[in-house]
Amino acid sequence: MSPNAESKEIENIPGLEKVDPVKVEKYEKLTNPLKLNDETMLKIRKIFEDEMDLGLQVNPKGCLQMANTYIPQLPDGSEEGEYLALDLGGTNFRVLLLKLEHGKMADPIVKHFHVREDIRLGKGEAMFDFLASCIHQFLESNNMLSRKLPLGFTFSFPMYQKSLSCAHLVSWTKSFNCEGVVDQDVVKMLNDAIHRRGDLQVEVAAILNDTTGTLINGAYLDGTCSIGLILGTGSNACYLEKVERVKNWEGEKPSDIKEVIIDIEDGAFGDNGVIDFIKTEYDREVDNKSLLVNSFTFEKYFAGQYIGDIVRVILVKLAQEGIIFGGKLSTKLLTHQCFNASLLSSVEQDSIQMTTTNCRKICQDLDLEYDDEDIAILKHICYIVSDRAAKLVSITLASLLDRMDKPGLVTIAIDGSLYKHHPRLDALLKKYIAKFAPNRQFCLMLAEDGSGKGAGLTAAIAQRLRKSN
Task: Please choose, from the candidates 344, 334, 335, 289, the residue with its C-alpha nearest in 3D space to the C-alpha of residue 311.
Answer: 344
What is d(CA 196, CA 216) in angstroms, rounded to the nearest whole number?
A: 31
97-123 core/surface letters (b: 16 or more CB in 10 A; e: else) = bbebeeeebeebbebebebeeebbebe
Pair 404, 240: CB distance under 8 Å = yes
Tell the burial category of 452 from Cβ atoms under 10 Å away from its Cβ (0-12, 13-18, 19+): buried
Angle at 39 between CA 38 and CA 45, to 5 degrees: 85
Any catalytic annotation for residue 94?
Answer: yes
In Å, what is the CA distance from 29 to each residue of 33, 89, 128, 325, 432? 8, 42, 54, 18, 25
- 156 is known as an active-site residue: yes
C-alpha–C-alpha distance, residues 54 and 143, integer Å: 50
Catalytic residue among 156, 226, 386, 451: 156
Least Cα distance to 235 among 283, 166, 305, 161 occurs for: 305
The active-site residue, picked from 45, 87, 94, 266, is 94
Query: Sheet containing 235-242: which strands, arranged edge to edge?
Result: 67-68, 259-263, 235-242, 225-231, 409-415, 441-446
Identified catalytic residue from 87, 129, 185, 210: 210
Is 290 in the active site?
no
Distance in angstroms (rounded) separating the CA atoms of residues 251 and 268: 27
Catalytically active residues are 94, 156, 210
